[in-house]
């Protein structure tokens, strides 16, 4: 089949003599790639409440604010102090808000963002019977699952990277020697981006996979919060009790502990979490755990959408 | 060229056979797919869309296998599902243009076509409002709009008049008829309401229990639909028995006796018998829309219609 064939029998359709506002379409048909692109963009926009009512924007705006405000405050305070005192290096070092500490600052907003927005995107399609419409268009079920996941992950990426970008620009622009500062900041970029990708893959994968199993938003949101917030508590308690082997295994399944460990791994710092420290595992192991869990979640997601009734 | 071709298409669910060895070729046109609820209409449409896989057999659309060439086919197919399928917090404009992009149209074209199509189905200012506040009729129009926005060559409509009031049904059927005839789309309309389907389509396919009852042009269906309805105050059973004695197929439905009209003979005979028996005659009319009788008797055209119970009006029993 050619993409531009206009009529059923290959002949061009006759012009419409009634002005009904409807004409045949002879323009380009971009097929599956366009459908995948459109679904990805739609997911990204939906995560931030774009193209929908005001109520849909509350969660992303509030959580985005919570994640970004520390960066803005830190940059502002740094600029003011530098003008007042002068020596910028010590002030900058003394600030608790740094690239390597930012993950700890945004953990709660980013977890809540995932718990609020992934069910919004995925549960909505099931709640309103939209899957039949999506699956009857120019894409495959696998494409649907992957485009939705990629959209959620991209939204998390934006969510995590935006404050880091503010921090980076703020530090560079308010530095005495912009060139030196820029060089130093750019050294941190691989770690920033690497950690953001791990966060997006792991939290995006978990929250999308959970959301795919229920049309009910409340259930999905609760399940995601339980998975992300309760596992570290369990692992900490187990370590306190001294059952080390089990706790070690569990800490490799606890998403927030994993992310803390990869953060320390990538930025070459010491992890704060007692569970991560006491597990005595090499930090790279957490990177591997993150990759495996992300991949498993995506596989579950694909499997779910290739078998779900539509 | 057959738009749709089915080769002993079978779909089995645990405990239920939804489609049972359906073999059929459909030419371009407006095709009515008739059958009672559970006859397999929706299952057939979903197989054509690749939404569900057949248990055995083969189905092709535009000569492409639905199993392997799904995305190629679906670029040129529009689908109106039976159930509600609209997100309430999105406007019709945003939703329909998103669906157009999902069918492969570039963004600018999708927006342009959306405006045209929404006008075509009769949605104006309200198209910028969230669809949660729409009436059933408006929702049904949006569902039609999203099905035709990418100018498909094949349009599959599953119960398009579902939930509409009589005026809404008329408007929807008129839209379907116009879409099919003026834009030369092949349209398959699935419905359990024969009276409706008869008004828009040129070809009828009747299925029951997943099996093909009959597939023919509408003309050949209606040729055999003549029925004379004789309504009497009482004595309907006696009249039917008397007609039976004289070799006419008659059936009692309440106070009405239905007589098969194969030729002119029954008119005189009924008149004479009514007079002879002294029955209080209320009404004598030739009825159309009796396709349901035909469907039920389809496999055995010479069977005795009187032996079956009274069919509910307007639906396939």
Q: Residue B272 pLDDT > 50, yes or no?
A: yes
Nearest to A188 by CA among A101, A81, A86, A91: A101
The pLDDT, as a whole number, for residue A79 is: 82
Closest CA to B74 of B89, B64, B84: B64
Beta bridge partners of B260: B227
| DSSP label at residue B90 | S
Interface test with A, best of B78, B96, B102 (most A CBs within 10 A): B102
B215 versus A69: the higher-pLDDT residue is A69
Q: pLDDT tens for residues A270-310?
A: 887 777 877 778 899 999 999 999 999 999 999 999 999 87
Q: What is the mean pLDDT of residues A108-115?
A: 94
For residue B193, give the 3-state DSSP assignment. Answer: strand
Confidence class for position B305, pLDDT limits 50, 70, 90: very low
pTM: 0.82
| Alpha-carbon distances, residue A157 vs A47, A64, A145, A152, B179 (angstroms) | 12, 12, 18, 9, 45
Which of the four pLDDT bands, split at 50, 70 and 90, describes residue A13?
low
Residues of B in contact with A137 (CB under 8 A): 74, 99, 102-103
pLDDT at A19 over 60: no
User: Cβ contact (<8 Å) for B151 and A7?
Assistant: no
Q: What residues have CB less than 8 Å from B284, skipping those under 6 apart?
A: B228, B229, B230, B231, B270
Measured distance CA(B305)–CA(B258) in Å, rounded: 10
Q: Quick one: pLDDT at residue B299?
A: 39
Q: What is the pLDDT of residue A14?
A: 52
| Contact call for A32 and B84, based on CB within 8 A | no
* B178 contacts A20? CB cut-off 8 A: yes
- At A86 the three-state DSSP class reads coil
Mean pLDDT across A153-180: 90
Nearest to A129 among B84, B120, B184 (CB): B84
- Look at residue A10 and tell me whether its pLDDT is greater than 70: no
Verify whether the Cβ–Cβ distance B183 to A24 is below 8 Å: yes
On whether the CB atoms of residues A93 and A101 are closer than 8 A, the answer is no
Instruction: Give pLDDT, residue B273.
Output: 86
pLDDT at B255 over 70: yes
User: In B121-134, which positions are buried (b, 16+ CB within 10 angstroms) versus exposed (e)?
Assistant: bebeebbeebbeeb
CB contact under 8 A, A16 and B81: no
CB contact under 8 A, B117 and A22: yes
Position B289 pLDDT exceeds 60: no
Mean pLDDT for B183-198 is 86
Give residue-wise pLDDT tens across range A198-217.
Answer: 999 999 999 999 999 999 99
| B186 contacts on A by Cβ (under 8 Å) | 8
pLDDT in the model for residue B226: 67
Given the DSSP bridges, would you call strands B4-13 and B56-61 parallel, antiparallel or unpaired?
antiparallel
pLDDT above 90: percentage of residues in chain A: 55
The confidence score (pLDDT) of residue A3 equals 41
Q: What is the pLDDT of residue A130?
A: 95
* Closest-CA distance of chain A to residue B315, Å: 27
Rg (CA), chain A: 24
Q: What is the ipTM score, two decimals?
A: 0.85
SS3 A209: helix
Nearest Cα residue to A255 out of A206, A193, A197? A206
Mean pLDDT for all residues in chain B? 84
pLDDT-derived band at B293, boundaries 50, 70, 90: low
Sign of CA dihedral A214, A216, A219, A220: positive
Element spanning B34, H or E = strand B30-34
Asked if B102's CB is within 8 angstroms of A38's CB, the reply is yes
Residues of A in contact with B150 (CB under 8 A): 25, 29
Q: How close does chain A come to B84, measured CA to CA in Å? A: 7
- Count of residues making up chain A: 310
Q: Output the pLDDT for position A279.
A: 76
Residue A197 has pLDDT above 90, yes or no: yes
Q: Largest alpha-carbon pair distance within chain A?
A: 83
Cβ atoms A118, A220 nearer than 8 A: yes
What's the confidence (pLDDT) of residue A89?
67
User: How many other CB atoms are found less than 10 A from the CB of residue B60?
Assistant: 19
Round to whole Å and give the CA distance between B188 and B277: 49
Determine the distance in angstroms separating the CA of A24 from the nearest CA of chain B, rounded to an integer: 6
Residues of chain B with Cβ-Cβ distance to A32 below 8 Å are: 71, 104
Contacts 24+ apart (CB under 8 A), B41-44: B41/B158, B41/B190, B41/B191, B41/B192, B41/B207, B42/B82, B42/B158, B42/B190, B43/B11, B43/B18, B43/B19, B43/B210, B44/B6, B44/B9, B44/B19, B44/B190, B44/B207
**pLDDT band, residue A230 (cuts 50/70/90):** confident
For residue B156, what is the enclosing H or E element? strand B154-158
pLDDT tens readout for residues A282-292: 899 999 999 99
Considering only CB atoms, which chain B residues are within 8 Å of A136?
49-51, 74, 77, 79, 81
Q: Are A137 and B103 in contact (CB < 8 Å)?
A: yes
Nearest chain B residue to A4 by CA distance is B76
CA nearest neighbour of B141 among B166, B113, B169: B169
* Residue B75 or residue A4, greater confidence: B75
In angstroms, the CA A211 to CA B85 distance is 19
Is the Cβ pair B90, A51 closer than 8 Å? yes
To which residue do tokens 């939290």 refer? A203
Choose from A32-41, B178-187, B217-226 the range with maximum mean pLDDT.
Answer: A32-41
B75 pLDDT above the threshold of 50:
yes
Q: Residue A126's closest chain B neighbor by CA?
A: B85
* Distance, CA of B225 to CA of B243 (rounded, Å): 19
The minimal CB distance from B104 to the residues A24, A30, A128 is found for A30
The better pLDDT of the pair B242, B49 is held by B49
Q: At what angle do helices A55-85 and A141-173 cross, to 10 degrees?
A: 20
pLDDT value of position B33: 93
Q: What is the mean pLDDT of residues B18-41?
A: 90
Read off the DSSP letter of residue B131. G
Distance from CA of A147 to the nearest CA of B (A): 12
Examine the pLDDT at B312 and tell me if it is beyond 80: no
Mean pLDDT across chain A, nearest whole number? 86
Position B59 scores a pLDDT of 95
Which residue of A3, A5, A8, A121 is the best one to mutate when testing the B interface, meaning the one whose CB has the most B CBs within 10 A?
Answer: A8
**Quick check: B304 pLDDT over 50?**
no
- Test the A interface: residue of B47, B75, B188 with most A CBs within 10 Å: B75
Q: What would the pLDDT profile of B121-146 be if each residue is shown by its tens digit?
A: 989 889 999 999 999 999 999 999 99
Per CB-CB distance under 8 Å, the chain A contacts of B185 are 8
């Amino acid at each position: 089949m050619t993409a531009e064939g206009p009529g059923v029998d290959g002949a061009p359709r006759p012009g419409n003599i009634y002005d009904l506002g409807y004409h045949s379409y002879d323009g380009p048909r971009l097929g599956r790639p366009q459908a995948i692109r459109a679904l990805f963009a739609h997911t990204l926009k939906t995560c931030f409440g774009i193209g929908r009512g005001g109520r849909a924007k509350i969660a992303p705006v509030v959580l985005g604010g919570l994640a970004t405000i520390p960066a803005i405050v830190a940059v502002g305070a740094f600029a003011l102090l530098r003008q007042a005192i002068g020596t910028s290096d010590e002030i900058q070092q003394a600030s608790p808000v740094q690239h390597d500490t930012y993950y700890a600052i945004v953990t709660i907003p980013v977890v809540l963002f995932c718990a609020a927005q992934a069910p919004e995107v995925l549960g909505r399609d099931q709640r309103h019977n939209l899957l039949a419409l999506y699956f009857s268009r120019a894409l495959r079920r696998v494409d649907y699952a992957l485009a939705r996941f990629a959209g959620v992950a991209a939204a998390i990426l934006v969510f995590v990277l935006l404050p880091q970008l503010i921090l980076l620009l703020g530090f560079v622009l308010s530095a005495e020697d912009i060139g030196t500062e820029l060089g130093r900041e750019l050294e941190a970029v691989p770690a920033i981006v690497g950690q953001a990708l791990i966060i997006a893959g792991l939290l995006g994968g978990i929250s999308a996979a959970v959301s795919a199993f229920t049309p009910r938003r409340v259930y999905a949101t609760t399940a995601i919060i339980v998975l992300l917030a309760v596992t570290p508590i369990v692992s900490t308690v187990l370590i306190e009790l001294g059952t080390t082997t089990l706790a070690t295994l569990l800490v490799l399944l606890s998403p927030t502990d994993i992310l803390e460990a990869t953060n320390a791994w990538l930025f070459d710092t010491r992890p704060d979490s007692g569970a991560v420290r006491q597990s005595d595992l090499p930090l790279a192991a957490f990177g591997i755990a993150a990759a495996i869990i992300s991949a498993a979640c995506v596989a579950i997601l694909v499997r779910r959408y290739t078998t779900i009734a539509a | 060229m057959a738009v749709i071709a089915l080769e002993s298409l079978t779909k089995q669910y645990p405990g239920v056979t939804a489609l049972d060895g359906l073999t059929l070729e459909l030419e371009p046109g407006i095709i009515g797919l008739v059958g009672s609820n559970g006859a397999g209409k929706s299952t057939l449409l979903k197989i054509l869309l690749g939404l569900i896989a057949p248990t055995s057999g083969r189905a092709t659309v535009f000569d492409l296998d639905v199993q392997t060439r799904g995305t190629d086919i679906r670029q040129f197919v529009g689908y109106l599902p039976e159930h509600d399928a609209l997100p309430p917090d999105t406007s019709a404009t945003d939703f329909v243009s998103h669906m157009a992009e999902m069918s492969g149209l570039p963004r600018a074209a999708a927006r342009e076509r959306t405006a045209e199509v929404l006008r075509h189905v009769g949605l104006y200012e309200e198209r910028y409002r969230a669809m949660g506040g729409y009436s059933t009729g408006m929702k049904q129009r949006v569902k039609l709009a999203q099905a035709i926005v990418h100018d498909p060559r094949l349009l599959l409509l599953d119960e398009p008049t579902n939930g509409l009031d009589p005026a809404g049904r008329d408007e929807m059927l008129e839209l379907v008829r116009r879409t099919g005839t003026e834009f030369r789309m092949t349209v398959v309309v699935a419905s359990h309401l024969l009276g409706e389907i008869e008004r828009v389509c040129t070809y009828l396919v009747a299925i029951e229990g997943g099996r093909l009852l009959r597939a023919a042009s509408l003309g050949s269906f209606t040729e055999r639909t003549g029925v004379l309805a004789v309504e009497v105050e009482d004595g309907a059973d006696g009249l039917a028995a008397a007609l039976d004695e004289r070799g006419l197929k008659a059936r009692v439905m309440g106070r009405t006796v239905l007589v098969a009209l194969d030729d002119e003979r029954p008119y005189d005979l009924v008149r004479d018998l009514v007079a002879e028996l002294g029955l209080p005659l209320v009404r004598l009319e030739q009825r159309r829309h009796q396709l349901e009788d035909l469907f039920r008797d389809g496999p055995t055209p010479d069977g005795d219609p009187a032996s079956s119970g009274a069919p509910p009006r307007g639906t396939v029993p």
